[in-house]
Structure 1
């Protein structure tokens, strides 16, 4: 049973983001984030208005350091391609467990990558950490988190 006096921000942190934009064709990335402080992760991808015939792909990648050394995709951690024909204003989620990383290979950093194909499309994405290992999750929020209320 989850304690009722625990705040959501004590259990969930915003680790990185791809800011809302009319993203041109190409990839936008969150930056490399250490997985050392959390057990679970969630990437939330939001698509507003698609450009004509546009596509959106998203995936989580792993690396051995914060510079992206040895970057590679994490098997099974990519969405099925979203298509303009499917309609505007949709979201997709990618769950990730810290155990999904190639820890034996020294991989301890992740990055969210959102790729738009064909035409500019409204996108935004957030990478969150859940179940902190040692402290309140909000201690690890990205610098871009301007406020926590309540």
Structure 2
């Protein structure tokens, strides 16, 4: 149990994002994120209106370095495809533990990939890090986090 005076921002960091947009057909990625400072990760994908006949997919990939060397999908870390028919205005979460990566072969970076097909769709996503090896977790926030209030 954590002490009552510990702030949520001291335990969770925003590590990467796919900024909100009307995403044209194609992939948008968070960029490569080192997994060395956290034990667990959560990718949150937010989908608004999906364009006519459009689809949205999301998955976590792993690589050996921040350049994406030997990039490959993490097994079992992809959402079920969302489609325009009944698939819009939802949120989807992907849990990941660092132990699920191919660390024996030097895979120590992850990225979230959100792919739209056929038509532009409203998307946004973020990757959060949990259980930091060193506190506070907020020390590892992405540069896109300019403020923590409270």
| TM-score, structure 2 as length reference | 0.98
SS at match of 1:86: coil
Which residue does the alignment assign to 2:3? 3
SS at match of 2:85: helix
Which residue does the alignment assign to 1:75? 75
Q: Distance in 2 between matches of 1:25 and 1:79?
A: 17
Q: Distance in 1 between matches of 2:88 and 2:101?
A: 32
Q: Write out aligned runs for 1:46-125 (5 A).
A: 46-125=46-125
Equivalent pairs, count = 150
- Contact in 1 for aligned 2:57/2:78 (Cα 8 Å): yes
RMSD over aligned CA atoms reads 0.7
Q: Distance in 2 between matches of 1:146 and 1:27?
A: 26
Give, in angstroms, the shift of residue 146 of structure 1. Answer: 1.5
Gaps of 5+ in 1: none
Gaps of 5+ in 2: none
Q: Distance in 2 between matches of 1:109 and 1:86?
A: 33
- Segments ≥4 residues shifted beyond 6 Å: none
Give, in angstroms, the shift of residue 110 of structure 1. Answer: 0.2
Give, in angstroms, the shift of residue 17 of structure 1. Answer: 0.2
- Contact in 1 for aligned 2:82/2:88 (Cα 8 Å): no
Which residue does the alignment assign to 2:30? 30
Give, in angstroms, the shift of residue 2 of structure 1. Answer: 2.7
1:79-102, Cα deviation, whole Å (9 max, x unpaired): 000111014210100000010100
